[in-house]
Amino acid sequence: MNSLPPLALNRWFRALGFCLALAPCAVHAEGLRFVQAQTEGGAIEGVVSADGKVRTFKGIPYAAPPVGPLRWKAPQPVVAWTGVRQAVDYGPRPMQGRIYADMVFHDQGPSEDCLYLNMWMPENSGQAKLPVMVWIFGGGFVAGSSSEPRQDAGNLCKKGVLVVSFNYRLGVFGFLAHPDLAREAGGSSGNYGLMDQVAALKWVKRNIAAFGGDPDNITIFGESAGSFSVSALIASPQARGLFTRAIGESGAFLSQALPMKARAEAEAQGAAFAASLGKPSLAELRATPADALLEAALKRPIFDFWPIVDGTFMPGDCMSIYSAGSQQHVPLLAGWNRDEGSTKDFFDGLEATAANYVAKVNAKYGARAGGFLKAYPASTDAEARRAAADAEGDAFIGFGTWKWIELQRATGGCPTYRYEFDQTLPLAADATPGTEPRAPHAGEIEFVFRVLSSRNLPWRDEDRNVSELMSSYWTNFAKTGDPNGPGLPVWPRYADAGGNPVMHLSAEPLAVTDARRGRYLFLDGP
């Protein structure tokens, strides 16, 4: 959508006697319909959708640009502006390389100046306090942006919620730990990207009422690294009181494969990185151009820049915090997708046969191989392919998410709901012959946001039905802490008394007793 130049807009608003009410007010110009609001940083103007049903504000700063002397510091307050700031386009995405082929961005490009958020809300909903859903994107903490079209919340918000998304610092810019940074900050370093997430939530808490949102009814939800973030925010004392419910899609920091790093290890890696650049001082590091830093960081292992147990934001690891019941006691809806793992990764170049499967298991698990084969049995080549994919998916995502749900139920004192996304995506017209339909990692995002059209696939009516089902469950949970509602299949709480029921989300949705519990009990064992 085209918009008026900033100066023309400012002159036009002044001539109109620009209103700064607490609630946004709509105005018209040259066939466009703009909407105005006041934030703590100043006045902004967004747009109303062509169908008149959605108000959108994009690119709103929630913290000062983390550049120059603010690089690798906790996010600082927004720099206020004068006049009216346009909020019609996404802000720049965080600095990153081209890492994941499935990511498409609709923003201005990468920049260190990336701390911006976006909002979607129903137009004229007639509701003074809309439930708020705050989305945290995934991408391994090294890639991603709130501008991905599969995360556009224009359709999701029509179900009676206000949706917020935001950017946070990634990679070396978001998670560099260094002894000198720890000394500068009074004892801890790293986790700047997670601090950004808290800053965004604090901004929402302070400002959302001006947009019709309820600051006392905020649900955080995220996928992959976004879901890992949700598990960390529940555990962190710095996020306490900033949200009332949580949704996790595929991932948590309770995984044996992907835990938070220890501070000493992370700071040693950060010091080695600085030495490799010939930049021993913080002043030199902060003076290094962002592109040069990114180029050097992309040559190192991806997990060199990863969330850590820093002693402040994370006073301990998630396993110990949840086990002690020290996390926030909030309702949790969480789960993962059927095909999180890859048969190819398990066999690592070997032919995918039952014999090779057993050989791989014996080589990896030794004395525990018998227990593994009982948890993941396979007597045919086809069963071996399926068991291998399941094992990879559980190691990558399933076990950590399962353990998160288990501990939140056991020590969190609040309702928990567990799902499995089973809806296989339709195959593209140019799919390789013999390709099997899958429900892969991140495959549920378009369904949750009701934006199947953001991806060029031959979508079926059953896919659209699953999207309506999931978006209803998600928004119902955000409204009441319970995903159930009129016309929906009953989703029972996750509880031992009910056989640990799992809601299988597919064209034939059904909640059934967890038939795979033995897998996770085995992985949870010694």
Say how far apart CA 525 and CA 518 lie, in whole Å: 11
Could you tell me which of 223, 245, 249 has the C-alpha nearest to residue 234? 245
Longest Cα pair distance anywhere in the chain, in angstroms? 80
- Select which of 441, 446, 467, 471 is catalytic: 441
pLDDT tens digit sequence for 106-150 = 999 999 999 999 999 998 765 679 999 999 999 999 999 999 999
pLDDT at 441: 97
The answer to whether residues 194 and 169 touch, using CB atoms and an 8 Å cutoff, is no
pLDDT tens digit sequence for 153-203 = 999 999 999 999 999 999 999 999 999 999 999 988 999 999 999 999 999
* Chain position carrying tokens 């996304």: 421
pLDDT at 97: 96
pLDDT tens digit sequence for 70-103 = 999 999 999 999 999 999 999 999 999 999 999 9
Residue 81 lies in a domain: yes
Amino acid, res. 257: A
Residue 445 lies in a domain: yes
Q: Which of the pair, 521 or 28, is modelled with greater confidence? A: 521
Could you tell me which of 150, 58, 50, 240 has the C-alpha nearest to residue 446? 150
C-alpha dihedral sign at 462, 468, 472, 478: positive
Residue 5 has pLDDT above 70, yes or no: no
pLDDT at 126: 59
Q: How many domains does the chain have?
A: 1
pLDDT at 110: 98
Paired with 163 in beta bridges are 120, 133
Residue 45 lies in a domain: yes
What are the helix (H) ranges across 214-256? 225-235
Residue 409 lies in a domain: yes
pLDDT at 131: 97
Say how far apart CA 134 and CA 218 lie, in whole Å: 7
State the average pLDDT for the chain: 93
Residue 18 has pLDDT above 60, yes or no: no
Residue 17 has pLDDT above 70, yes or no: no
φ, ψ for residue 334 (rounded to 5)?
-155, 160
pLDDT at 497: 82
Residue 422 lies in a domain: yes
Domain that holds residue 184: 6-523
- Select which of 189, 224, 255, 467 is catalytic: 224
CATH number, domain at 444? 3.40.50.1820
Task: Based on the residue annotation, tell me whether 441 is a catalytic residue of this protein.
Answer: yes
Say how far apart CA 515 and CA 174 lie, in whole Å: 39
Amino acid, res. 4: L
Task: Based on the residue annotation, tell me whether 106 is a catalytic residue of this protein.
Answer: no
Residue 1 lies in a domain: no
Task: Based on the residue annotation, tell me whether 340 is a catalytic residue of this protein.
Answer: yes
pLDDT tens digit sequence for 331-383 = 999 999 999 999 999 999 999 999 999 999 999 999 999 999 999 999 999 99
- Select which of 267, 340, 406, 420 is catalytic: 340
* Chain position carrying tokens 């008394």: 497
The answer to whether residues 243 and 208 touch, using CB atoms and an 8 Å cutoff, is no
